[in-house]
Amino acid sequence: MTSISVAGDDEDSTSTITLSETEDQLCNVDKTGPPKSDIQANPSVTIQKKKRKSRYVGDMSSDDFSSPGRAKKNFRIMKEVITSQRRKIHGLQRTVTSLRKRVSTLNGLINLLKKKSYISESSEDLLKASLSGSSLKIFERLLKGPSTQKYDPALRSFALTLSFYSPRAYNFVRSTFNKSLPHLSTLSKWYRSVDGSPGFTQESLLALKLKNEYALSQNKSVYCNLVLDEMSIRRQVEWTGSKFSGYIDIGSKIDSDILPEAKEALVFMLVCINASWKIPVGYFFIDGLSGKEKAELVNKCLVFINESGVKVTSLTFDGAPVNFTMASHLGANFNDIENMKTHFSHPVTGCDVFIILDPCHMIKLVRNTFGSQKYFTDGEDNHIDWIFLVKLVDTQYAEGLHLGTKITIRHMHWVREKMKVKIATQTLSRSVSDALLYLSNDLKLPNFRNADATAVFIRKFNDLFDSLNSRNRLAKYKFKRPLSPATVADFFSFFDDVSIYIKNLKLASIPIIESPRKTGFLGFLICINSIKGLYKTYILKNELKYILTNKLSQDHLELFFGAIRGKGGFNNNPSARHFESAYKRLLIHTEVTGPKTGNITVSDRLTILSCGSGRQITATDNGDDLLTTKEYLDFEQSVKDNLTVYQSSSSAWNLTVYTENVVQYISGFVVKTLKKCVTCAKCAEILESATVISSLQKRKQYGNLVKASDLVINVCTAAERYFRFFHKTTNIFNKNIRLLIETLKNNTIKTLPSAILNHFNHHLYDDDPVDGHAIQLIKLILNNYFKLRIHHETAKNMDLSTKNRVRSILTKTILFKHE
């Protein structure tokens, strides 16, 4: 072995390299070095090592800065590299900031789609509902671009939801994000993997098994309600490429042209009682079924579901006569009212399955009977008369203000919209009952004498519907809370009372439950018996902690039908082929709800988008100040002249007791609104009062009703007087009135007495008396009150102009004629 001492770049630094004697070629690498013979003669020879140039800043070491020349050169290189990198980082940051401003989250993406009119408002809400807690992962995948990795379940759900509602929006998002979303052909493969043909759906069974296995791992069980209903479809036979679609099909896969055309789709859906999910389990194309045939299908469905281990506690359907026949074939018996059997045995387990008639359909049937027959008598021979509701609507329109009710002339023409649950529940509501009692007992108006029995009838059915439609386990009103050991005493006591009340109702001297119009009333009695049975079977045995009775309604299936109809765009009457396609899409993802215009109302809260403008609100189209234009000044002068004439008659300013009480009631809502924006503690204290002045407020005192102070009541009363004068002398719907609220506020302030400022006490002197808190608070009160009044007048004008509605009638006619 030979040792060679090698000198580095510095003269003082050397290193020793050990060479093998046989590796002679190493000594001949550097031709300028000493000859081989010298190395052999002198084993320790110093060889100058050539410095390799550093290509990157990270390759530099302390040796690169050992001399001034090298340090200066390398420092210049590092400075250039750092400057270049800073520029790149700044450019990337600007790009990222721009992207974040444009689409920072998937919610921002949806807002962008809405802005570009690629999706509707309802689709926007539904897409936002599909975003789960893994939105960040979804967005990361979108920003990465195409990848060979499997799609995240949340991204898969978002893609399916977006493509379901708007293929145009889907293509836009896919192209915007570098084709990170799956291609439409991929979505088609996902759909083809699901057999959505008529019959019981095997994919649903697999999903139920997974749910049940997870529940068992948590030492729990899955309890569900089975819902069935028919949906009208268009009679149309189509060629799908492999078969004809449009004939009746009950899952037997018979392909024959001698079969009749289908006119309905019978759908079965499971709604979980102790969790928050639902799933369709099968459907059939039919041309009408007998009660016995339906009973056979129900038993087959229960056997099919039992394979998953899920426990079915109840069966929900509507009040069609064939459904009562089906219940009889299943084993129920409704003939003896005092001893009704509202359950039947499960075909496999033998457990009781309780029958629920959909409360939404029952309340519509009760309203239909009341509105068409006009007249009932209760157990004490008191008259229950529809005419009191007509008089209530007329009184509200005559006075110009409503008594905290939603009943309008539209509700009196209920025949045109008999399918809408909202119209029925607003007619038979607690607010209508309170309004009748207020007019009858407090104001003692002659037109409402003996209206107490009608008010009691409405109140009982309102509370009964609420108890059968509970949605929130933390609800404050006792009949809107879930059925549980804590509420069972109130529920059962009320159920016993209302059962006796219904049995004593008479129609033309015949007990109403024996008359031809008995279905709605009998349905409520069946629901009461079944709810009691469910409590004793499952809650008393600690299998369930509570039951939200809304889980036992048909609402969930109705929303499913609305989603299927919405898939067709402008065509809301799908054929059998379209129904099957929509069913498969809805089966794959569940982030779908119904439209806002259906027979039932979606309970989710919706966000209202707002848009702003940099333009002054007091500017004309030309940019001039509106307050200085000749048109506005002339208008202002005419208002003053009319005001002078109007003030000459003192009786013109008088308000009825009815109007004063309603204004005091509205004042409480104004205070509730102002408390959210008033930050001054003294001003907030001035707004409220501890006492109730209005007798209407006493009727409406359900819970934490906000009570307005004398200041707010006096300001709102003055505003109401001036609004009535202004409405009589000026058309408030004139589009040329650009500053309607400003005009109302400015002129109302002129009518206020100076004593109104005494309510502020010493707080009046805490700031500028000209434009301090006192004036600002009065303007805020007037602003909120006039907004309410203008909204009310607009809605009232709309009701009067559209009282002869034909759209709802014609729409339902088309659907039920299967065209």
Residue 472 lies in a domain: yes
In whole angstroms, what is the distance from residue 545 CA to residue 198 CA? 36
On whether residue 207 sits in a domain, the answer given is no
For the segment 331-351, the average pLDDT, to the nearest whole number, is: 92
Phi-psi region of 461 (alpha: psi -120 to 50; beta: other; left: phi over 0): alpha
Higher-confidence residue: 495 or 801? 495
The answer to whether position 253 is within a domain reads: yes
Mean pLDDT of 790-816: 73
Which residue has better confidence, 411 or 238? 411
Residue 172 identity = F
308 vs 467: CA distance, rounded Å: 31
CA gap 305, 298 in Å, rounded? 11
Res. 389: pLDDT tops 50:
yes
Whether the predicted pLDDT of 355 surpasses 90 = yes
R_g of the chain, CA atoms, integer Å: 38
Predicted confidence (pLDDT) at residue 607 exceeds the cutoff of 90: no
pLDDT band at 416 (very low <50, low <70, confident <90, very high): confident
Same domain assignment for residues 637 and 703: yes
The answer, yes or no, to whether residue 158 has pLDDT greater than 80, is: no
Q: Does one domain contain both 352 and 381?
A: no
pTM greater than the 0.75 cutoff: no
Q: Is 407 inside a domain boundary?
A: yes
Same domain (yes/no): 257, 269? yes
Tokens of 106: 């998937």
pLDDT in tens, 657-676: 999 999 999 998 898 888 88
pLDDT at residue 633, as a whole number: 64
The stretch 516-538 carries a mean pLDDT of 95
- Band of residue 706 on the pLDDT scale cut at 50, 70, 90: confident
pLDDT digit string (tens) for 622-650? 545 555 566 556 666 666 666 555 554 44
The pLDDT score that the predictor gives to residue 36 is 47
The whole-angstrom separation of Cα 542 and Cα 473 is 17
Please tell me whether residues 80 and 139 are part of one structural domain: no
Q: Is residue 612 a part of any domain in this protein?
A: no
Of 336-350, 365-379, 522-536, 804-818, least confident by mean pLDDT is 804-818
Least confident of 139-143, 230-234, 489-493, 592-596: 592-596
- Provide the domain count of the chain: 6
Tokens 């048909």 -> residue: 554
DSSP label of 477:
S
643, 721 Cβ separation under 8 angstroms: no
Helices 740-751 and 773-801 sit at what angle, rounded to 10 degrees? 120
- Residue where one domain finishes, among candidates 157, 192, 227: 192
Supply angle C-alpha 418, 421, 424, rounded to 5: 70
Asked if pLDDT for residue 388 goes beyond 60, the answer is: yes
Residue 766: its pLDDT value, please?
Answer: 67
Asked if the model's pLDDT at residue 469 lies above 80, the reply is yes
Ramachandran angles phi, psi of 656, nearest 5°: -70, 165
Taking the C-alpha atoms of residue 385 and residue 450, their distance in angstroms, rounded to an integer, is 10
Burial class (CB in 10 A: 0-12, 13-18, 19+), 388: buried
Same domain, 385 and 530: yes
E strand intervals along 59-202:
199-200
**What local confidence, expressed as pLDDT, does residue 705 receive?**
79
Residue 621 forms part of a structural domain: no
pLDDT in the model for residue 594: 44
Q: Quote the domain boundaries for residue 8.
A: 2-52
Q: What pLDDT is stored for residue 676 in this prediction?
A: 84
Looking at residue 500, what is its pLDDT?
A: 95
Q: Choose the most confident range, by mean pLDDT, from 25-39, 134-148, 638-652, 723-737.
A: 723-737
273 φ, ψ to 5°? -85, -35
CA angle 503, 509, 515 (to 5 degrees): 60
Mean per-residue pLDDT, 260-289: 89
Distance of CA 645 to the CA centre of its chain: 50
pLDDT at 694 over 50: yes
- Judge if 534 and 557 occupy the same domain: no
Q: What is the pLDDT of residues 174-214, one digit of tens each?
A: 776 666 677 777 766 665 556 678 888 888 888 899 889 98
Residue 257 is predicted with a pLDDT of: 63
Of 193-197, 260-264, 373-377, 517-521, the poorest mean pLDDT is in: 193-197
Using pLDDT thresholds of 50, 70 and 90, give the confidence band for residue 745. Answer: confident
Q: What is the pLDDT of residues 500-512, one digit of tens each?
A: 999 999 998 899 9
607 domain residue, yes or no: no
Sheet containing strand 311-317, strands side by side: 199-200, 278-286, 264-272, 223-232, 311-317, 352-357, 343-345
- What's the mean pLDDT when you consider all of the chain? 78
CATH number reported for the structural domain that contains residue 264 in this entry: 3.30.420
Interval 578-594 mean pLDDT:
68
Do 288 and 397 belong together in one domain? Answer: no
Contacts of 765 (CB under 8 A, 6+ apart): none
Q: How confident is the model at residue 327 (pLDDT cuts 50, 70, 90)?
A: very high
Q: Is residue 523 located within the same domain as residue 573?
A: no
Phi and psi angles of residue 242, each rounded to the nearest 5 degrees, phi first? -130, -20
In this predicted structure, what is the pLDDT of residue 395?
A: 94
Which among 110-114, 288-292, 538-542 has the top mean pLDDT? 538-542
3-state secondary structure 398-445: HHCCCCCCCCCHHHHCHHHHCCCHHHHHHHCCHHHHHHHHHHHHHCCC
Tell me which amino acid residue 616 is. Q
pLDDT, residue 615, reads: 38
Residues 372 and 351 in one domain: no
Exposed e or buried b for every residue in 753-790, given b needs 16+ CB within 10 A?
eeebeebbeebeeeeeeeeebbeebbbbbbbbbbeebb
pLDDT of 606 strictly over 50: no
Mean pLDDT lowest among 36-45, 358-367, 476-485: 36-45
pLDDT, residue 609, reads 25
Q: State yes or no: pLDDT of 597 exceeds 60.
A: no
Residue 267: what residue type?
A: V
Residue 171, burial from CB neighbour count under 10 angstroms (0-12, 13-18, 19+): middle
Q: Are residues 534 and 559 in the same domain?
A: no
Residues whose CB falls within 8 Å of the CB of residue 100, separated by 6 or more in sequence, listed in order: none
* pLDDT at 242 (0 to 100): 74
Q: Report yes or no on 87 lying in a domain.
A: yes
The reply to whether 573 and 673 lie within a common domain is: no
Angle between helices 630-647 and 740-751 (to 10 degrees): 40
Identify whether residues 783 and 766 lie together within a single domain: yes
For residue 204, the model assigns a pLDDT of 86
Kindly report the number of other CB atoms within 10 A of residue 494's CB atom.
17
CA-to-CA distance for 62 and 71, rounded, in angstroms? 9
